[in-house]
Amino acid sequence: MIVLDKKEQDYLLDTIRSVHDFPKPGIIFRDITTLLNNKEAFKFLIDHLQKRYESYGLDHIVGIESRGFIFGAALAARLNIGFVPIRKPKKLPYITISQKYTLEYGVDEVQMHIDAFCGKKEAKVLLIDDLIATGGTAKASVELIKQANANCVEACFIINLKELKGESEIAKLTKIYSVLEV
């Protein structure tokens, strides 16, 4: 498996801004916009992901709204495969399938077009997002991919917030790769 060494991880981590007390006191927000606007770092990251996934025989990359779109679309273009967005309700214009998930105080939902994988049964899919925290959205996204008769071969996150343990539930459903762990 292709992974980054400590020096390469530190390089990428140094390009991500930490914003304290955002969006509320006690939270440290990991701002990836500083990685995205650093052309060398962004290229380095996408090059790494391309090397890791080019031998997987993927049919599609699925990105979670909205920052997963950035990494997913760039990687899909590099791998010359399709990109599929997973979105919040009422954002997609065609017939959708949905998956609900629980939040600390309520329920939310993700959706995908019913024909997202072009009718291919058991399409090999990579799920990608910028960050995994508690894992609710990612878990619902993996379940949504399965609902569409596709095979989520791995879930990739640029950053894993380890103390929140979100990866534990997703690991029951698919393999996980986190480029960086904080």
CB atoms closer than 10 angstroms to residue 23: 7
Contact at 8 Å (CB) between 151 and 173?
no
pLDDT in tens, 125-173: 999 999 999 999 999 999 999 999 999 999 999 999 999 999 998 999 9
Which pLDDT band holds residue 121 (cuts at 50, 70, 90)? confident
**Short-list 156, 161, 159, 148, CA closest to 174:** 156
Looking at 116-178, list the stretches that DSSP marks H as alpha helix, in order from N- to C-terminal side. 136-147, 167-170
Contact at 8 Å (CB) between 135 and 146?
no
The whole-angstrom separation of Cα 29 and Cα 22 is 6
Exposed / middle / buried, residue 182 (Cβ in 10 Å: 0-12, 13-18, 19+)? middle
The reported pTM is: 0.96
pLDDT in tens, 17-30: 999 999 999 999 99
Q: In the structure encoding, which two tokens stand for residue 91, read together?
A: 């954002």
**Active-site residue (options: 54, 65, 67, 109):** 67
Active site (annotated) includes residue 67: yes
Active site (annotated) includes residue 30: no
